[in-house]
Amino acid sequence: MRRQRTATVLMTGTLVLGLMTLSLAQKDLVPVSVGVVATVVALDAKHALATVQTDTGEVFVLLKGWHWQVGDKIACDRIDAPRPWLQHCRPWQ
């Protein structure tokens, strides 16, 4: 009898604590993507990196596309997160 009561109390407590942590968790953890246009400002051939600057002035370092040259415009998806980044970059036309 005592074992069954202990198991019931433990399972109820685990369920209540689990639901409480879920309700206190942040709901907006999904990053938002925004299209931006950036300009290639520098290339590092040794490490295959490109430094790009968006129209708003943000600077990012990306893996260099094989066809990128300094001054080229590229269209990217900017991921809006605590530490933003660019992805899916392609030539801008």
Q: What is the pLDDT of residues 25-59, one digit of tens each?
A: 556 567 788 999 999 999 998 999 999 999 999 99
The CATH number for 78's domain is 2.40.50
2/34 Cα distance (integer angstroms): 58
Name the token pair of 84: 């933003």
Q: Structural domain of residue 76, as residue ranges?
A: 32-91
Structural domain contains residue 6: no
Structural domain contains residue 78: yes
Predicted confidence at residue 84, as pLDDT, reads 92
Global model pTM greater than 0.75: no
Q: What is the pLDDT of residues 61-74, one digit of tens each?
A: 999 888 899 999 99
Write the burial class of residue 38 (CB in 10 Å: 0-12 exposed, 13-18 middle, 19+ buried): buried
**How many CA within 13 A on the CB side of residue 59?**
5
Structural domain contains residue 19: no
pLDDT level of residue 75 (50, 70, 90 thresholds)? very high
Structural domain contains residue 20: no
